[in-house]
A = this chain, B = another copy of it.
Amino acid sequence: MRLTPDLTPEYSDPHSYPAGVAWQDGQYIPVSQAKISVLDYGFLHSDATYDTVHVWDGAFFRLDAHIERFLAGVERLRMTLPVSVPEIREILHNCVSLSGYRRAYVEMVCTRGTARDFSRDPRAATNRFLAFAVPYGSVADDAQMKRGLHVTITNTTRIPPSSVDPRVKNYHWLDLIGGLFDAYDRGGETALLLDSDGNIAEGPGFNAFSVRDGALITPEHGVLRGITRRTVMEIGHEQGRTVREGTLTRDALRSSDEVFITSTAGGVMPVTRIDGAPVNDGAVGPVTRAIMSTYWAWHKDKRFVEDVVYPSQETKAPS
């Protein structure tokens, strides 16, 4: 005796979203309108790769490096982009330009897409590209940037390279989210996960660095090859420091002179407490400060930036 309800021909979304601009299927739209089908394997199988780049004071930072990594991920997943590289550049520029944001967090995504008959064969799907620009965000808030983050090392292990290639930037975050809840439970503000050998891997959206005697050490295996991580390694070299990718044990991390994390979302962020205990004297250290300083100075360096042209600055073509 059930009374079947009516079918609504058009979905009406009652939720609120941040402001921003997205591109999907040739259309620039408010980010609140940017949706993917629940049947897209980018959702149903998290079969997707992406990259994020930021815009700082009206300019992209290292856009070429982010696009290059994105293209490598798309190829490793054996996907085909429906847009060319010049089109990607144009789309990203336009999303930011239309948003008007001088500081933005910009994401480009390629999903496996859908197959018309809902085939389970990934080769049958038509891959999709989308992109969006939203306001710039950071892993650490202003207070945490000043006094340093309080990090908890969790026993959750990062998904190993034998399962998912960490060079393909991916949305498989349940290990990171589990680690985050574990960190919150234990009084931390964010989490560091271990690799399969019990050494430090990475955290939710960031790489980690240890500073000892002026040298920089960062985990080598099973981590995303972060563009900010690479930038910090280059800064280290420019500053004449020893920079080493290798194994970083929990104990080595805890007994560091300084610790910081790196992400496109926040740049270089100091860590001053690990598992409740201060790192060294618990203050943000001089090496971290020197690297932060150069990192932001490089955001004015023509080697690394390209300006966004906003509508107000445009020279209109004659009509």
Contacts and interface: CB of A to CB of B under 8 A. Distances in A.
B196 A17 contact: no
A296 interface: no
A33 B7 CA distance: 11
Contacts of A98: 4-5, 7
Interface string A9-48: 1111111111001101101111111111111011111110
A66 interface: no
B36 A43 contact: yes
A117 B168 CA distance: 27
A236 interface: no
A120 B137 contact: yes
B11 A34 contact: yes
Contact of A157 (B22, B32, B123, B160): B160
A105 to B, nearest CB: 8
B38 A9 contact: no
A27 B8 contact: yes
Contacts of A132: 38-39
A118 interface: yes
Interface string A156-196: 11111011110010111111111011001000000000001
A12 B27 contact: yes
A297 interface: no
A16 to B, nearest CB: 5
Nearest to A23: B5
B35 A122 contact: no
- Best-buried of A28, A46, A178 by chain B (most CB within 10 Å): A46
Interface of A: 1-18, 21-22, 24-25, 27-39, 41-47, 77-78, 93-94, 97-98, 109, 112-114, 116-118, 120-123, 126, 130, 132, 134-135, 137, 139, 156-160, 162-165, 168, 170-178, 180-181, 184, 196, 204-205, 265, 309-311, 314-317
27 contacts: A1-B309, A2-B97, A2-B314, A4-B94, A4-B314, A5-B94, A7-B98, A9-B29, A17-B39, A17-B114, A31-B38, A32-B37, A34-B37, A35-B35, A35-B36, A35-B38, A39-B132, A41-B173, A43-B171, A46-B171, A160-B160, A160-B163, A162-B196, A163-B163, A164-B175, A165-B174, A196-B196
